[in-house]
Amino acid sequence: MEQSRPDVPGLSDVEHELLGIVLTQNAGLVAAAMGAPPGAGRPGVLEALAAARSAAIVLDDIVRVLVGEARAEGRTWAAVGDALQVTRQAAFQKFGGDDDADEGMAVIPDGALPGAAELAARVIADFAAARWTQLRAGFTPRMQEGCSAGLLDSVRAKLGAELGPLLRTRRPLVTVRGRYTVVDVPLVYARGVRKGRVTLTGDGQVAGFFVLIPEAP
């Protein structure tokens, strides 16, 4: 039986997966450029450079997550320091008492759909990984009609061309609007920030999905 991951406050299993997706996408761009011989015809050098920087940022996030998991398992700061090849004091100073420990935690208002933030994170993860069949399976019939896989793929490609790779998500904002629960998830790309908005029905179906500028009401 697979051992379950320790509970780390503020980071869900879906957010763990999203970090892995982002890292894999960036690493793929870097590997493609590094595998080609140097020269003017080398493909995607600037894209690979941006992806390498993005991968470094994501790796820093992953290290913080893994430190939190190690501590949740009961590992000492000395053991964490040994793994990172730093002293116990250095590990504690860098990772102990992290002000962003609850960065991914959403404040859930009264009347909101239970698990709304988790459902929205799954939508964002499917969108980031281009899992269109899986993503659209959770849409309402009206959304399935109006939001095709081709449209989703076009939006994702446009975002990538304009903003570069997705680096991370930040704390979701959950609100209740009439009979819907709306979750806004900040999306941090290499060259800008957008807001993923997921509108959920009372039974957890996706009635709306948009990628907006952060200032959108």
Residue at 38: amino acid letter: P
pLDDT in tens, 128-175: 999 999 999 999 999 999 999 999 999 999 999 998 888 888 888 999
116-212 carries CATH number 3.10.450.590: yes
Euclidean distance between CA atoms 190 and 104, whole angstroms: 19
* Residue 79 or residue 135, greater confidence: 135
Domain boundaries, given as residue ranges, for the chain: 13-95, 116-212
- C-beta of residue 90 within 8 angstroms of C-beta of residue 81: yes
DSSP string, 40-58: TT-TTHHHHHHHHHHHHHH
**pLDDT-based confidence at residue 57 (cuts at 50, 70, 90):** confident
What is the mean pLDDT of the segment spanning 78-96? Answer: 83
For residue 182, list its beta bridge partners. 175, 199
For residue 25, list its beta bridge partners. none
φ and ψ of 213, to 5 deg: -70, 150
Range with top average pLDDT, 36-50, 92-106, 120-134, 167-181: 120-134
For CA atoms 148, 150, 156, 159, give the dihedral sign.
negative
Find the distance separating the first CA and the last CA of the chain, reported in whole Å.
46
**pLDDT-based confidence at residue 7 (cuts at 50, 70, 90):** very low
* Residue 35 or residue 146, greater confidence: 146
pLDDT in tens, 162-179: 988 888 888 889 999 999
Residue at 167: amino acid letter: L
